[in-house]
Amino acid sequence: MGSSLISGDTCTFLGWAVLALVVLVLRNRWRPRKRLPPGPSTLPVLGSIHHLTLEFQQKRFAELGKEFGDVIYLKLFRTPAIVLNSLESARELLDKRSAKYSDRTRAVLLAELIGHDLSLPFLRYGERFRKHRRWMHDAVGSKASLLKYRPMQIREAHLLLRNLLETPDNFIEHLYRYVAGTLLEITYGQRLTSMNDLIVQLAERAVIATNESGSPGSMVVDFFPILKHLPTWLPIAGFKRHALKAREDLNAWKNTGLNIVRSAMASGTASASVTSALLEAHQGHLGEEELEDIKAVGTSIYGAGTETTYGSLASFVLAMVRSSDVLRKAQDEMDRVVGHTRLPGLGDRDSLPYLSALVEEVYRWNPGLALAIPHRAISDDEYRGYDIPEGCMIMPNIWAMTRDERFYPQPEEFLPDRHLNENGDGLAQDRELPSTYVFGFGRRICPGQAFADAVLWLAIAHIVAAFDIRPVVDAFGVPVVPPAAFKPGFTSQPARFQCNIVPRSEKIAAAIAHLDV
Q: Known binding site for heme: residues? A: 446
Residue 305: how many other CB atoms lie within 10 Å: 23
Distance (Å, whole) CA 285 – CA 282: 6
79-84 and 479-480 beta bridge pairing = unpaired
Q: Measured between alpha carbons, how far is 312 from 370 in angstroms, rounded to an integer?
A: 12
What H or E segment, with its residue span, contains residue 288?
helix 288-322
> 47 CB contacts (<8 Å, ≥6 apart)?
74, 75, 76, 77, 78, 79
- Distance, in Å, from the CA atom of 257 to the CA atom of 305, rounded to the nearest integer, reads 16
Residues in binding site:
446
Angle at 377 between CA 375 and CA 379, to 5 degrees: 160
Q: How many CA atoms lie within 13 A of 400 on its CB side?
A: 28
What amino acid occupies position 278?
L
At 397, is the secondary structure helix, strand, or coil?
Answer: strand
Residue count of the chain = 517
CB neighbour class for 128 (10 Å; exposed up to 12, middle 13-18, buried from 19): middle
Backbone angles phi, psi at 80, to 5 degrees: -70, 140
Q: Of 471, 491, 473, 489, which Cα lies nearest the Cα of 481?
A: 471
Please give the single-letter amino acid code of residue 328: R
Closest CA to 307 of 397, 208, 378: 208
Question: How many helices (H) does the chain have, and how many strands (E)?
Answer: 17, 13
What is the distance in angstroms between the CA of the first residue and the CA of the last residue of the chain? 108
Closest by Cα among 453, 441, 455 to 398: 441
CA angle 189, 190, 193 (to 5 degrees): 160
Rounded to the nearest angstrom, the gap between the alpha carbon of residue 385 and the centroid of all alpha carbons in its chain is: 31
- 262 C-beta neighbours (distance < 10 Å), count: 15
Beta bridge partners of 79: 76
What is the distance between the alpha carbons of residues 364 and 181, in angstroms, rounded to a whole number? 25
Category of 72 on φ-ψ map: left (φ > 0), alpha (ψ -120 to 50) or beta: beta
Q: CA-to-CA distance for 155 and 148, rounded, in angstroms?
A: 13
